[in-house]
Amino acid sequence: MEYVDRSVALASQAFVALIPLLLVSSSLLPRSERRSYADSVVRRFELHGTSATEVRQVFAQPAEVRSTLSVLGFLLLVVSALSFCRVLQRLYERAWRLPALGMRGTPGQLTWLALAVVYLVVVGGLNTAAGRWLGPLGGAAVGLAGGLVLWLWTPYLLLGRRVARVHLRLTAVMTAVSLTLTSLASIVYMPHAIAVSATRFGAIGVAIAMVSWLIAVAFVLVGATVVTAVWSGRSLPPPTGRAELQPARSADGGPVTRSG
């Protein structure tokens, strides 16, 4: 699986492609629902003082993003975000021992990008509200529930629906639980890490701390994917090359579906 290389690739692609797309997407929301990415990072890691100031200086506010946004720039961001989707797709394909979809996987990648943006906006808002009224455990519960949905549909879409959702339930549960625990640990670790990096390296130190955090998240994601794919895949026959991409046909020519 090339565990370390794949984790670092996921983290780097998320930082250079996915985060800018989410920042731009948040700038297009109605004013009543718009939140800057910097504010969400500050709230997410409970930053204060110098650390919070450095984060807000690194990331542009939505108004600044919106004033410089062009159609071409947005399309380039989408193309860049698709590169992250391809890395994530290859992870699932390798874990489930399926042949690569290549360009045929683009519709699923675009669908997943839309799902990810909606998830972060909706669940992010609910998480903040739950954390304010119910405390950190309430926010974690909302995040866990949303994560179960996200990580059930993520491999299903990126694998081109070649694995039934019933076989992806264990992947969804282990990924959501693992990332929720990582999220709770980040609240303790990240404020100190960002403060130390910002003191030593200034604004670039915030980026260093963020990349380090993304690598840790990627390690957890890859580990959960591999373990659950091996465990769940025991009930499935091994793929046999390109024939696996086409649905099987019955004697009367109709598709044969594999029930869970």
pLDDT digits (tens, 9 = 90+) for 18-46: 667 666 665 555 554 445 556 666 766 66
Q: How far apart are the first and last CA of the chain?
A: 27
**Rounded distance, CA 207 to CA 234, Å?**
41
Q: What is the pLDDT of residue 17?
A: 77
Q: For residue 79, name the pLDDT band (cuts at 50, 70, 90).
A: confident
**Rounded distance, CA 179 to CA 10, Å?**
15
Name the residue with tokens 């709770």: 184
Name the residue with tokens 């800018």: 20
Q: What is the pLDDT of residue 22?
A: 63
Cα torsion through 96, 149, 7, 228, rounded to 10:
-40
Instruction: Classify residue 33 as exposed, middle or buried by CB count within 10 Å of its CB (0-12, 13-18, 19+).
Output: exposed
Q: Is 258 left (phi over 0), alpha (psi -120 to 50) or beta?
A: beta
Name the residue with tokens 């718009």: 34
- The model's pLDDT over 80-104, given as tens digits with 9 standing for 90+, comes to 788 889 999 999 999 999 999 988 9
Instruction: Classify residue 71 as exposed, middle or buried by CB count within 10 Å of its CB (0-12, 13-18, 19+).
Output: exposed
Q: For residue 148, name the pLDDT band (cuts at 50, 70, 90).
A: very high
Q: For residue 255, name the pLDDT band (cuts at 50, 70, 90).
A: very low
| Helix ranges, 28-168 (H) | 37-44, 49-58, 62-67, 71-95, 106-134, 136-158
pTM over 0.95, yes/no: no
Q: What is the pLDDT of residue 149?
A: 93
In this structure, the number of other CB atoms found within 10 A of the CB of residue 55 comes to 23
107 vs 119, which has greater pLDDT?
107
Q: What are phi and psi of 249, to 5 degrees?
A: -120, 140
Looking at the DSSP bridge assignments, the partners of residue 255 are 249
Q: What are phi and psi of 35, to 5 degrees?
A: -135, 135
**Rounded distance, CA 216 to CA 190, Å?**
12
Supply 138's token pair.
Answer: 């309430």
